[in-house]
């Protein structure tokens, strides 16, 4: 059995403003709950006009308020940008509002450019203190936190589960040392995937939160009724990554027929590197791709990105993926 979850980018497009993007994320989560997805995460990005989840905890609350069972959380909070106390207060409040449904994934990258880091007013040392900051947040959620002089009200006793996010060996080693679940960002940084998972599994130390290793891997999956249509829909994400390499963090663009008319050969090479683990096609293609990825990684859970421009087509993609996952999990019993 492989759990399957969603990482939604809360994309602002040429046709959808920030409010529309946030409402679309909530609508997708409502459908995802019905389709059997386990989690629905959004990520912290700053100074990026094409992504509407900068105030991550507020977006998490909006999504959780529209759903009933699916776990909702951050994938993730970029911890160097914040005081641990503030994050514990925010996610402790979310846990009080939505008991047993909130996740907190933590990353050590700033998730933005250096000028914006300065605007966030956080010390650069926040990166080096990442392990200590995780332990501090964990302590605020603990059962005995209510007896401490400094409390993250109302986090005490909520025991919000923490995840370490990573795209390198560092995150793998840290997650293993702390006995926390590990989410690897192979949806944009696939080159160290196999090594990171090996380091995590071999170095894992059981903890109060987790008895044995739990691996989640990010994967881009674009599904449609035909492979041709899926590859056309995938051009929106390909253009977004090409734009990033150009220093353009603008709005998502509608799909085009000929992606080679948009990017240079050099940009194509760079984008293909970061999207190397992508699965694009019809239901049969998706199943074959997931099976191959599972053979390679033995992942416990997939965190799926389906970065499609139009909301209805994104819904259709996630519905096809869910159908494939249900069939695979039924066959594995």
pLDDT, one tens digit per residue, over 29-50 is: 999 999 999 999 999 999 999 9
The 10s digit of each residue's pLDDT in 228-270 is 999 999 999 999 999 999 999 899 999 999 999 999 999 999 9
154 prior amide bond cis, ω within 30:
yes
The average pLDDT across 183-207 equals 97
Confidence (pLDDT) at 114: 75
Which residues are CB-contacts of 145 (< 8 A; sequence separation ≥ 6)?
139, 151, 152, 155, 156, 157
Q: Is the CB of residue 72 less than 8 Å from the CB of residue 91? A: no
Cα dist from 193 to 181, 183, 186, 199, 217, whole Å: 15, 10, 6, 10, 8
Predicted confidence (pLDDT) at residue 112 exceeds the cutoff of 70: no
Q: Where are the beta strands (DSSP E) in 108-263?
A: 162-166, 182-184, 215-223
Confidence (pLDDT) at 161: 98
Predicted confidence (pLDDT) at residue 202 exceeds the cutoff of 90: yes
Distance of CA 300 to the CA centre of its chain: 15
Query: Which backbone phi and psi does 104 adopt, to 5 degrees?
Result: -135, 100
Query: Angle 15-20-26 (CA atoms, 0-180°, nearest 5)?
Result: 135
Confidence (pLDDT) at 203: 98
Give me the CATH code for the 3-331 domain, please. Answer: 3.20.20.30
Confidence (pLDDT) at 325: 98
Domain boundaries, the chain: 3-331
pTM above 0.85, yes or no: yes
Q: HSE (CB half, 13 Å, CA atoms) of 138?
A: 18
């Amino acid at each position: 059995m492989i759990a399957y979850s969603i990482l939604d980018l809360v994309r602002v497009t040429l046709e959808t403003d920030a409010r529309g993007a946030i409402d679309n994320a909530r609508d997708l989560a409502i459908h995802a709950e019905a389709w059997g997805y386990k989690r629905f995460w959004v990520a912290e990005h700053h100074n990026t006009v094409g992504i509407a989840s900068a105030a991550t905890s507020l977006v998490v609350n909006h999504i959780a308020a529209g759903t009933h069972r699916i776990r909702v959380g951050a994938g993730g909070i970029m911890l160097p940008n914040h005081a641990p106390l503030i994050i514990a207060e925010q996610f402790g409040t979310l846990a009080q509002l939505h008991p047993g449904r909130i996740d907190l994934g933590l990353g050590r990258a700033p998730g933005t450019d250096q000028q914006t880091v300065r605007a966030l007013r956080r010390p650069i040392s926040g990166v080096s203190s990442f392990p200590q900051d995780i332990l501090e947040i964990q302590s605020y959620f603990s059962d005995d936190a209510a007896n401490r002089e400094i409390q993250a009200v109302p986090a005490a006793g909520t025991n919000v589960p923490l995840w370490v996010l990573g795209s390198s060996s560092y995150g793998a080693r840290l997650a293993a040392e702390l006995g926390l679940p590990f989410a690897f960002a192979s949806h944009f940084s696939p080159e160290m995937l196999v090594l990171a998972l090996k380091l995590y599994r071999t170095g894992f130390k059981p903890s109060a939160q987790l008895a044995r290793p739990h691996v989640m891997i990010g994967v881009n999956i674009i599904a449609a009724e035909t492979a041709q249509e899926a590859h056309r829909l995938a051009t929106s994400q390909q253009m977004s990554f090409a734009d990033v390499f150009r220093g353009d963090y603008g709005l998502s663009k509608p799909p085009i027929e000929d992606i080679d008319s948009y990017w240079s050969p050099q940009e194509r090479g760079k984008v293909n590197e970061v999207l190397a683990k992508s699965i694009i096609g019809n239901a049969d293609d998706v199943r074959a791709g997931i099976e191959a990825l599972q053979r390679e990684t033995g992942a416990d859970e997939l965190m799926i990105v389906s970065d499609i421009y139009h909301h209805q087509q994104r819904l259709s993609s996630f519905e096809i993926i869910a159908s494939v996952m249900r069939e695979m999990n039924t066959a594995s019993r």
